[in-house]
Structure 1
Amino acid sequence: MELNTWLEIVSVIFGILYLVLMVRENIWCWIFGILSSAITVYLYTHVTLYLEAVLNIYYILAGFYGWHYWLNHTVKDSSITPVVTWKVNHHVITIISCGLLSVLLGYVMDHYTDSERPYIDASLTIFSFVATYMEAKKVLSTWYYWFVLNLVSIGLQFDRGLYFFSALSVFYTVMCIYGYRRWKKTMLSQTSIDTSLDN
Structure 2
Amino acid sequence: MELNTLLEIISVIFGILYLVLMVRENIWCWIFGILSSAITVYLYTHVTLYLEAGLNVYYIIAGFYGWHYWLNHKIEDSSITPVVNWKINYHVITLISCGLLSIVLGYIMDNYTDSERPYIDSHLTVFSFVATYMEAKKVLSTWYYWFVLNAVSIGLQFDRGLYFFSALSIFYTVMCIYGYRRWKKTMVTQSQIGELPEPVR
Task: Tell me whether the two structures share a fold, i.e. TM-score over 0.5.
Answer: yes
> Where on the TM-score scale, by shorter chain, does this alignment land: which range?
over 0.9
Which one-letter code corresponds to 1:143 in the other structure? W
The one-letter code matched in structure 2 to 1:92 is: V
CA–CA distance in structure 1, aligned partners of residues 54 and 115 of structure 2: 13
TM-score (norm 1): 0.97
Task: Point out which structure has higher relative CO (alpha carbons under 8 A, 6+ apart).
Answer: 2
Query: 1:6-45 maps to which residues of 2 (within 5 A)?
Result: 6-45=6-45
Give the equivalent residue in structure 1 for 2:198: none
Matches within 5 A, 1:100-119: 100-119=100-119
Residue deviations 1:82-138, cap 9 Å, x none?
Answer: 000011111000000000000000000000000110000000000000000000000
Distance in structure 2 (CA, Å) of the matches to 1:56 and 1:181: 26
Secondary structure of the corresponding residue to residue 193 of structure 2: helix
Q: Does residue 136 in structure 1 map to residue 129 in structure 2? A: no
AA matched with 1:160: R
Percent identity, please. Answer: 86
Q: CA offsets, 1:172-198, max 9 Å, x none? A: 000000000000000000010107xxx
Residue 79 of structure 2 is aligned to residue 70 of structure 1: no
Q: Distance between the aligned counterparts of 1:116 and 1:130, measured in 2?
A: 23
RMSD: 0.6
Q: Deviation above 2 Å: which 4+ runs of structure 1? A: none
Tell me the equivalent position of 1:147: 147
SS in 2 for 1:81: coil
Aligned residue type for 2:94: T
Alignment TM-score, normalising by the size of structure 2: 0.97
Q: 1: distance between equivalents of 2:50 and 2:64? A: 22
C-alpha distance after superposition, 1:142-180 (max 9, x if no partner)? 000000000000000000000000000000000000000
Mark the runs of 5 or more structure 2 residues left unpaired by the alignment.
Answer: 196-201
1:165 corresponds to which residue? 165
Distance 2:108 2:185 in 1: 42
Partners of 1:42 and 1:116 in 2: how far apart?
16
Structure 1 unpaired stretches of 5+: none
Give the AA of the match of 1:50: Y
